[in-house]
A and B are shown apart, each in its own frame.
Chain A
Amino acid sequence: MVLGLDPGFDPYDSATYFNFTLNNPVRLPIVTAIYSSIKFFDLIIIFQCLVSILAWVYCAKVMRSFFTNNKLKLSLSILLFSLALSSPVLEQHTILMSESLSVSLLVLVVASLANYLRNKNQISAAIFYLFLICFAGVKISNSYLVFIVIILFIFFNILIENNSKWSSMILGSLVPLIFTTFFIYLGSQANITLKLVNTTNIIERSYDDLELRQWYLQNDFPGISYTQYVLPQDEPPIAKVINSPQVKKWLQVQGSDLVIKYLIEHPLFTIFAPLKPSLFIDGYTDFESIFPYLTMGTINQNNTNLFSNINAINMTREPDYLRALTSNKLPFWSTGKWAYSLFPSIIFLLIGVNLYMIRKLKNYTNEKNFITFLMIVTFLGIWSNWHFTVNYDMHRFLLPWSVLLRILAIFSLVSIVNQISLNKKFN
């Protein structure tokens, strides 16, 4: 439907996706290698769709193997494919950003983890690591997260493996750790984007909170950035902030470290603020918690030009089919306020009930490990993204983790039905 449509083009941002370089890159090499090789917008859409199809088919195939009942296998496949075809996931494939590949590669990571837990051989582990490396290489935030995930995976293996296999696992983990460290190194060269996001984040979160603002000011955050951010202007507010000499100097010497420093010094904020920000930030409500973003899954909610895009090359308006897409959100996504509590509640309830039901069943050890490990990864992904992104862009950053939560909820639902049906049979 969107083939042939010229994409919106940002003179600075868009070009960076096509510039493959390992010397001071702005984007990580996996995404720039793919985009610069394919070059054409329409072909990139097709490529992203193909990767997505491959990912979801592989995911359904592997996850089906946890069950023996054919009806449940079919139900699982239908539910997973429906999620894959829901509009928040679909619309990412038609955008030149890292989100489509992030979601698809995360689905491949999930599938390959399930495959590894089923087979427990070196090839399965290698495939899992391969997809983790690819996932780390599309986005800077992914690379940091994958580094932690690999460490977690090593400990997880040591805990679940009773034999000596874990020593070879540690050795095998060195390869993805080296790749991921390399991506982190490249990302640190390109951290100007991260610093801009963090600066906006600090202003947006501390503007109304006297105590929070004082903390940042006492830690050398430039006070003038607050006024530069709000004063009338015809350019994005952050541009005026970073053009002031005080902020330029601050970005050179401190930059993003301040957000991390705050999180370390305030562990209660770090843990509970994403769930209940109103307890920690004056002026914030439950709308700013993770729940609305996990429920909506869409992008650019604040964009008032819902059905058109401005093309920065020829300054003409073009139809934006993506934001006009309202189809196929239910039963997985909703923008209604009524759903902000309901959707996340159902998701966490399904996963929690399933984990509780299988906690002592030996036949379900792999399933339990699969869900537990991915839940830890999901919480890490959601929490880190909530702390480091700005509210009006959080839909996009939380989307891969929202998708992962739904995959786990679907899997848990089918698993619960499976156990109930088995209990009935035996009774």
Chain B
Amino acid sequence: MVLISVITFIIAVTANFRGVGFIAVNNRYALNLLKITQEPNNTEANNLAYDFLAIKELDGEIDFYWIESNGDLLTVTNLKPEAVKGTITFDVEKDPCAGDRIITIGNSEKPLNLYLTEEKKQEKVKIFISLNAFESSFHSVGSPTERICKFSNGDKRIAIAKIKNVKIESIP
């Protein structure tokens, strides 16, 4: 305990309290103090983020999402305070049950229909993104529900597709 007190004492003595302290992020937005944290010449889009409503799961070392019968919402968000262009790519795999599956991705303006069969169980999707500062784009993921696919392991979800290998890149 003496040692811990001494370490804390030394760090307290050597601390630097010149300058300005904590300003909450939203206050910095109002004061136009937010900076861009993207590393230069890095195409890996650290300032583009994506969200599915489904939770991320892990199969070995591969992240994936089970898309359920009530659909999902892919949200791509620009975290930068300036416009950005990029792409998001991912693989869509058919549900594990026998039978074909139509998966529709996108919005009413540009829907993308994937016809997944027993022969062609997986397809790669590439969506171009163009977003203004702090803007998000929303892409629904759904399927007609005439065929119900349940898991055999007691998982009560009704799956329509598996999405994996999601990769997001910015275009310089």
- Determine the interface band of chain A, counting residues with CB < 8 A from chain B: 35 or more
Most chain A beta-carbon contacts within 10 A, residue among B1, B14, B29, B30: B1
Task: For residue A113, give the distance in angstroms from its CB to the closest CB of chain B.
Answer: 16
A352 at the interface (CB under 8 A from B): yes
B37 at the interface (CB under 8 A from A): yes
Q: Which residues of B contact A222 (CB under 8 A)?
A: 51, 75
Query: How many angstroms from the CA of A339 to the CA of B104 in the assembled complex?
Result: 62
Return the contact of A245 from the options B11, B26, B39, B73 (Cβ within 8 A): B73
Interface of A is mostly: helix
With A276-B11, A286-B17 given, is the CB distance from A224 to B51 under 8 Å?
yes
- Whether the pair B21, A227 counts as a contact (CB closer than 8 A) is no
- Whether the pair B37, A356 counts as a contact (CB closer than 8 A) is no
Query: How many angstroms from the CA of A286 to the CA of B13 in the assembled complex?
Result: 11
Query: How many angstroms from the CA of A391 to the CA of B23 in the assembled complex?
Result: 9
Q: How many A-B residue pairs have CB under 8 A?
A: 133
B128 at the interface (CB under 8 A from A): no
Nearest CB to that of B47 among chain A residues?
A210
- Whether the pair B21, A246 counts as a contact (CB closer than 8 A) is no
With A204-B24, A356-B2 given, is the CB distance from A227 to B77 under 8 Å?
yes
B151 at the interface (CB under 8 A from A): no
Return the contact of A223 from the options B7, B12, B55, B75 (Cβ within 8 A): B75
With A220-B55, A286-B17, A287-B17 given, is the CB distance from A359 to B73 under 8 Å?
no
Task: For residue A250, give the distance in angstroms from its CB to the closest CB of chain B.
Answer: 8
With A208-B35, A285-B21, A337-B17 given, is the CB distance from A224 to B49 under 8 Å?
yes
- Whether the pair B17, A341 counts as a contact (CB closer than 8 A) is yes
- Whether the pair A230, B1 counts as a contact (CB closer than 8 A) is no
- Whether the pair A348, B8 counts as a contact (CB closer than 8 A) is yes
Q: Which residues of B contact A363 (CB under 8 A)?
A: none
- Whether the pair B15, A230 counts as a contact (CB closer than 8 A) is no
- Whether the pair A359, B2 counts as a contact (CB closer than 8 A) is yes
Task: For residue B48, give the distance in angstroms from its CB to the closest CB of chain A.
Answer: 8
- Whether the pair B51, A246 counts as a contact (CB closer than 8 A) is yes
B143 at the interface (CB under 8 A from A): no
Most chain B beta-carbon contacts within 10 A, residue among A204, A237, A348: A348
- Whether the pair A340, B15 counts as a contact (CB closer than 8 A) is yes
Task: For residue B4, give the distance in angstroms from its CB to the closest CB of chain A.
Answer: 7
Task: For residue A126, give the distance in angstroms from its CB to the closest CB of chain B.
Answer: 27
B92 at the interface (CB under 8 A from A): no
Query: How many angstroms from the CA of A227 to the CA of B75 in the assembled complex?
Result: 12
Size of the B side of the interface (Cβ < 8 Å), in residues, is: 45
A327 at the interface (CB under 8 A from B): no
Query: How many angstroms from the CA of A83 to the CA of B130 in the assembled complex?
Result: 59
A99 at the interface (CB under 8 A from B): no
Q: Which residues of B contact A194 (CB under 8 A)?
A: none
Query: How many angstroms from the CA of A224 to the CA of B39 in the assembled complex?
Result: 20
B115 at the interface (CB under 8 A from A): no
- Whether the pair B73, A253 counts as a contact (CB closer than 8 A) is no
- Whether the pair A341, B79 counts as a contact (CB closer than 8 A) is no
- Whether the pair B37, A224 counts as a contact (CB closer than 8 A) is no
Task: For residue A391, give the distance in angstroms from its CB to the closest CB of chain B.
Answer: 4
Nearest CB to that of A412 among chain B residues?
B5
Interface residues of A in 245-269 (CB under 8 A from B): 245-246, 249, 253-254
Return the contact of A214 from the options B26, B46, B77 (Cβ within 8 A): B46
Q: Which residues of A contact B135 (CB under 8 A)?
A: 227
Query: How many angstroms from the CA of A351 to the CA of B4 in the assembled complex?
Result: 11
Q: Lowest 6 A-B CB distances belong to which pairs?
A: A223-B49, A287-B21, A352-B5, A230-B29, A227-B134, A286-B15
Q: Which B residues have a C-beta under 8 Å from some C-beta of A?
A: 1-2, 4-9, 11-22, 24-26, 29-30, 34-35, 37-39, 46, 49-51, 53, 55-56, 73, 75, 77-79, 134-136
Q: Please, could you name 15 A-B residue pairs with CB atoms under 8 Å apart, sorted by A? A: A209-B37, A210-B37, A224-B75, A227-B78, A231-B29, A246-B53, A253-B55, A287-B17, A289-B15, A337-B17, A341-B12, A344-B8, A344-B12, A376-B1, A392-B22
